[in-house]
Amino acid sequence: MLEKIKDIVIYKDGNYNSFPNAIVLGDGTIMVGFRHAPDWQSQFNDVTHLDPASAGVYVLSKDNAETWSDSPSLIYRHFFYGVQDPCLNRLFDGTIMGTFFMWKVSERDKPLENPDRHHFVNDYYSAEMMNAHTIRSHDGGLSWDEPACIDYSGKDGLRASVRGNCIGLLDSSILLGLAIYDHDTTKRFVRIVKSMDRGLTWEKVYDIRHRDNHVMGEPNLFRTKSGKLVCFMRTHIDIPGRNVYDDGNSEMSPMHVSYSYDNGATWSEPEKTQYTSPSPFHALQLDSGNVLLSYGHRYSPYGIKVVLLDGELENIHSARPVLIRSDGVNHDLGYTSSVQMPDGNILVTYYIFHKNDTTRYIAGTVLRES
C-alpha cells in the first residue's frame, strides 16, 4: 500500500524545465537531470519542446529531497542543436552514463537533411531529429566527457530518440531501448542495442515491432529480481479524426510490454496492458520487492499516476493505478522517474504547471510504502 506524504518543488526558475530523470548516487545524494530551455509563451502564445537553446542539466539533494541545488549544473549544451530528454544511469562501477538526443531547428524554407522526418515549430521554424548520444561522468557529475553518438552496424541511416533508462547485465554490458523512426514515417518501432564499454560503442541486438503497426516510442527497460527483462513502451494508435491528447481518447495510447528471458537476445511480441497514457512509463524496484510503475496522466483530471506491482509483474493486468496528483492543467506534464531515497521513502519526479502559473517546473511527490 502507498501513502502520499507531500508534493515538492525540485527546481523552478521561470524557464521551461521538463523531462526529469532521477538516480541515487553511492553516497545517497539524489541527482535529477532535466531539460532546461527558455519559455517562449509570451512571444508565441504557446509552448514548444523543440528549441535549439535547450540544454541538459541537473540538480542535487543530499537530504532526502528536503532541499535542492539553488541553480542547475550542466550535463551538456550544444552550440547549434537543442538537447532533449537527458536521462541518467548509474552503472555498476559508479559511472554516471547519460543519454539524450538532439533537434536541429531552422527556418521553414531552409532545406532539411531528412525532409520526410521533421516537425513544425509554430509558424516560423521546422525541426529535424538528429542522432542519439551518450555521455559519462566519473566524478559524480562534476565533469563530463565528450558525447558519443549511438552508432552501430545495421543502423541504415535511421535516427532514434532515446527516453528511458538502460539496464546492466551481469557481464557488465548495457542494454538500451531506442525509439526508431522508420523510413516509412507512419511507423516507429523499438530497437534494443548493447554496449560493452559504458556506451561508447554499440551493437544492434533486436527489433521489437508491433504486428498491428502501432506507433511505438520511449521504451524503458527494467530487470526483475529473477532476471526477466521487461520493456515498457508508450504506443499510439492512429484513428482518423481523433487526437490522442483529447479527453475520451485514452484507448489510443495503451502501454505495451515486451519480455526477454535470455538477457535481451530475443523479445516477446508486444502485449497490451490496461494502463493508458501518451506519456512514457517508468518502473522502479523497491526495497520491499515490489515494483512501482509511474506515468503522467494526460487526461482530466491531469496529473500523475502510480501502480504498485509485485516483483515479477504478475499482477500487471489487475493492479489498479492511483492518482497521486491531479492539479495539472493539460497534457503538458509527466515524464516520471522515481527513486527510493536513503530514508526509505519514494520520490516520484515529473514536470507540471498549474492554472494560475503556466511556468513548467520540475516537481516531485514523496510516497511511503506501508
Q: Could you read off the pLDDT of 11-70 as tens digits, one per residue?
A: 999 999 999 999 999 999 999 999 999 988 777 767 778 888 999 999 999 999 999 999
DSSP secondary structure string for all residues of 29-85: -EEEEEEEE---HHHHSS--S--TT-EEEEEEESSTTSS--SSPEEEE--SSSEEEE
Contact status, residue 135 vs residue 75, Cβ threshold 8 Å: yes
The domain of 73 spans: 2-369
Grid cell locating 63: 537530504
pLDDT, greater one: 150 or 211? 150
pLDDT of residue 247 exceeding 70, the answer is: yes
pLDDT for the residue 109: 72
d(CA 231, CA 347): 22
In this prediction, residues 277-293 reach a mean pLDDT of 97
* Secondary structure letter of residue 9 according to DSSP: E
Handedness of CA 294, 73, 178, 125 (dihedral sign): positive
d(CA 145, CA 340): 28
In this prediction, residues 292-296 reach a mean pLDDT of 98
Q: What is the mean pLDDT of the chain?
A: 93
Query: Which of 31-35, 178-182, 251-255, 278-282 is the least confident region?
Result: 178-182
Query: Which of 26-40, 177-191, 298-312 is the least confident region?
Result: 177-191
Predicted model pTM:
0.95
pLDDT of residue 113 exceeding 70, the answer is: no
What is the 3-state composition of the chain as percent helix, strand, coil, each rounded to the nearest 5?
Answer: 0, 50, 50
pLDDT of residue 151 exceeding 90, the answer is: yes
Helix or strand or coil: residue 95? coil
DSSP secondary structure string for all residues of 157-209: T--EE--S--EE-TTS-EEEEEEEE-SSTT-EEEEEEEESSTTSS-EEEEEE-
DSSP bridge pairs for 33:
21, 58
Grid cell locating 190: 523499438
Cα 173–Cα 90–Cα 101 angle in degrees, nearest 5: 80
The count of domains in the chain is 1
Percent of the chain with pLDDT over 70: 95
Cα 126–Cα 128–Cα 131 angle in degrees, nearest 5: 160
Domain with residue 61: its CATH number is: 2.120.10.10
